[in-house]
Amino acid sequence: MSHVIDFLLTREGFSVRLARDGREALRAIAEEDPFDVVVLDVMMPFASGVQVVRALRQTPGWDIVPVIMVSGKGSESDVVMALEAGASDYLTKPFRPREFVARVRAHVLRARAAASAPGQASGRAG
């Protein structure tokens, strides 16, 4: 699935940084500058997407980055858990590619508008 997301976002002009698992995603949060948006699968090896979004929300700079969760798990409790952990949006697989890209764009535009407001920091694409 990560390759499909990579393809869709690259085709739309986004610079994409893939993490193979939750541990690599956590390392990116610790070592890299914030991205414009983060897309996480709920079920990842070593650290779940929910664990990653919780860590992200506790990290200065990353705490305002929009996070879109993607999962094959679509129960109300799964969605609520991800949103309460700090996710900005939640899509179930299989998702519609054009809708996915539109959601990513919408979150990035809102975040950029908020970051350009006086007193706000901005991130980079990732």
CA distance 91 to 74: 8
Reported CATH class of domain 2-116: alpha beta
Chain centroid offset of residue 65 CA: 8
Given a contact cutoff of 8 angstroms between Cβ atoms, the answer to whether 42 and 49 are in contact is: yes
How large is the average pLDDT for residues 25-34?
Answer: 93
At 2 the pLDDT is 86
At 117 the pLDDT is 77
Q: Of residues 37 and 115, which shows the higher confidence score?
A: 37
At 73 the pLDDT is 92
Question: For the chain, what percentages of helix, strand and coil (3-state, to nearest 5) are there?
Answer: 50, 10, 40
- Please give the model's pTM, rounded to 2 decimal places: 0.87
Residues 6+ apart with CB under 8 A from 26: 47, 51, 52, 55
Which element (helix H / strand E) includes 26?
Answer: helix 22-31
Residue-wise pLDDT tens digits, 48-94: 999 999 999 999 999 999 999 999 999 999 999 999 999 999 999 99
Residue-wise pLDDT tens digits, 97-115: 999 999 999 999 999 898 8
Given a contact cutoff of 8 angstroms between Cβ atoms, the answer to whether 12 and 105 are in contact is: yes
Q: How far is CA 24 from CA 38, 62, 78, 115, in A?
A: 13, 15, 23, 26
